[in-house]
Amino acid sequence: MQPLSARVIDRLNDTMRLDVVSRRTPAIRNDDSDLAALCEAAALALNTCYGFFSFIHADHQRLVGCYGMDCQNVPIEQSIFVHGMGDDEIGPLIIPDLAKDHRFQDSPLLNRTLNLRFYAGFPVLIEGELVGTLCVADRAPREEQPHRIGAIMERLSQVASALIASKEAELRAAQMTLNLVRSQRRHDLALRAARVATWTWNRETNTVEADRLFRRMLDVGEDTDLAIADVETAMKPAHRSALIKSIANSLDDDREFSVEAPLLNERTVSLFGRVLDLPDQAPNQQIVYGVAIDVTDRQLADEKRRQLLRELNHRVRNTLAMLQSLAGQTMRRSASAEEFNAAFSGRLQALSNAHHLLTEQDWDAVEVHELLHQQMDPLLGEKRHRVAISGNSATIGAEESVGLALIVHELTTNALRHGALADGEGSVAVQTDIVRRPDHEEAETICIDWRESSAAVACLEETGFGLLLIKRSLDKVIGATVDVEQTPAGVHAHIAMPLNRPHRAGGIYSG
């Protein structure tokens, strides 16, 4: 075949033309039924063996809607129509006999199964650019007048141009619809993740359309017709009139409203909305579009935060008062600064350890055996094996924990300095038991029995601040008692505290 001229190659590679082709071709499949019907109509009208549409790319042409032949891609060098693109104006190309045209004498289209002899191709323009051709061809040469062929093919090529343009518009509309659906689904997912409900209120009919989440907020069935009166009824009576008036005033002033509505089901919902004028809306129709957010959990969290701040403030004041008292009492009973520093530091550390343990439990409850180990282990050091903790354990509250920490610290310190742990043979047994209170069968008390056993024992100082701490540290705990006595074997202390929490079985601890 005759090589393509430079002018033809330039026209094939024109960027504006290729842009139109690249945008239009995706809308057409090879077996497009509408183009196939058009190509068949062209072939039947001109009584030819073949009819097809060709999209002309820079390096190949794509045959679609083929009648009498298989659709395929043809290298641009084997294209028949492009050889007519060298003229000043691109027009129809009609060749009565390809075998007699020197440009196509070596073309494989003449010698293969198609065995083409007659060819007529009419350009199809979109946006003023050549995108392809509507073609008919036959195995036999034709001597028909060009005007007869042109009258039919020009009209059909115009139909092809309009058809391809409409297909591209349909594809674009379908893609826009798909994008809208995807956007809506992302929007729905975001609303569900944020637990945001949506609703609309027709102020003319007072009807409400709402999604499933909004109905659940109001405890309204999904199949129930919803009116604005139903929304009002779901609110607590004391807040209805003020909320409705606030909403109405905002809407009348063409402002967005934002209110919090306490509901009868003990939940609180934030309502946001405003009137929006949409293109398809009736002239005087007021439609309020809004969202609702369940803020019950947020309000509960805020209230809990305020409660925690109040409790923290109370505890800080109590702790500061306790520290002030400890410092003053310890100072009055200390013979030197060194003695004060040692005693006060130990008691301060006992308080710090108890607070640390409570903080780990969110100031809710502390397990008794864990508190005993925490207070005693750092003080005992190598003498841990001489202390045994056994019995059933339980959890106690913050006030009980702080008081018990001070008591255990004083008992342990006394045992190490003056009691059973001061010599090389004494021991301490700590037994914990859960007992029923005699005044209340369902109430329980935890009893902690501290019993020292030693041959050489020094007595407790009856007027010492340590003994006072042991006896008075649980004074604020209603029903708690602390009894301390000096026995021939050593100190015996019995501590009892009422329980409001379940207990668990304990074990035996020794170093």
Q: What is the pTM of this model?
A: 0.49
| Residue 282: pLDDT band with limits 50, 70, 90 | low
Quick one: average pLDDT of 184-191? 80
Instruction: Write the pLDDT tens digit of every residue in 444-487.
Output: 889 999 999 987 665 565 546 777 777 777 777 777 889 999 88
| Residue 507: pLDDT band with limits 50, 70, 90 | very low
Q: What mean pLDDT is reported for the chain?
A: 85
3-class DSSP state of 276: coil
Reply yes or no on whether the pLDDT at 509 is more than 60: no
The Cα-based distances of 194 to 35, 36, 123, 188, 461 in angstroms read: 49, 51, 56, 10, 66
Query: Which two structure tokens, joined as six digits, stand for 19?
Result: 């842009």
**Tokens 């309009």 belong to which residue?**
162
CA nearest to 160, candidates 252, 240, 251, 65: 65
Delineate the domains of the chain, giving CATH numbers in brackets: 6-172 (3.30.450.40), 195-294 (3.30.450.20), 352-510 (3.30.565.10)
3-class DSSP state of 118: strand
Amino acid at residue number 357: L
8 Å CB contact between 393 and 508: no
Reply yes or no on whether the pLDDT at 228 is more than 70: yes
8 Å CB contact between 446 and 366: no
Instruction: Write the pLDDT tens digit of every residue in 119-152.
Output: 999 999 998 999 999 999 999 998 767 788 888 9
Instruction: Write the pLDDT tens digit of every residue in 248-270.
Output: 888 788 888 888 889 999 999 99
Find all residues with CB under 8 Å of 3, minimum gap 6, and list them.
77
Instruction: Write the pLDDT tens digit of every residue in 308-357.
Output: 888 878 877 877 877 787 787 778 877 888 888 888 888 888 888 888 88
8 Å CB contact between 137 and 107: no
Backbone angles phi, psi at 338, to 5 degrees: -65, -40
Instruction: Write the pLDDT tens digit of every residue in 383-438.
Output: 999 999 999 999 988 888 888 988 999 899 888 888 888 887 889 999 999 988 77
CA nearest to 121, candidates 31, 57, 48: 48
Query: Which two structure tokens, joined as six digits, stand for 394?
Result: 């339980």
The packing angle between helices 465-472 and 398-417, to 10°, is: 150
Using CA atoms, how far apart are residues 152 and 92, in angstroms rounded to an integer? 12
